[in-house]
Amino acid sequence: MNCAIIYILMITDLGHQTVQRIVRASDPLQSMQDINQNFPNIVSSLSRMKVKNLVTFVECLYIGQFPPN
């Protein structure tokens, strides 16, 4: 497998993983600020997180789009 493909597969859910970390933090605003200011240092740990289905649903609620039934 090409290294570029492996890299793309590792960051496919990066948005969901970021939302999951923010939503589950004790201080979401501080967590969002830390991720924003230190993203290059945090991205490897974010990409290893397992995404829960609830996070996808919460994100859909936030942006106002619902997955099809």
Task: Give the pLDDT of residue 3.
Answer: 56
The reply to whether 59 falls in a domain is yes
The reply to whether 49 falls in a domain is yes
What does the longest C-alpha to C-alpha distance in the chain come to?
39
The reply to whether 31 falls in a domain is yes
The reply to whether 68 falls in a domain is no
pLDDT band at 50 (very low <50, low <70, confident <90, very high): confident
Quick: pLDDT tens for 10-48.
667 788 888 888 888 889 899 999 999 998 888 888 888
Chain centroid offset of residue 28 CA = 13
Range from 3-7, 15-19, 45-49, 51-55 carrying the lowest mean pLDDT: 3-7
CA 23 – CA 34 distance, rounded (Å): 13
Tell me if the pTM is above 0.75: no
Domain that holds residue 31: 3-63
The reply to whether 69 falls in a domain is no
The reply to whether 33 falls in a domain is yes
Number of domains in the chain: 1
Element (H or E) spanning 24, and its range? helix 14-24
Greater model confidence, 4 or 24? 24
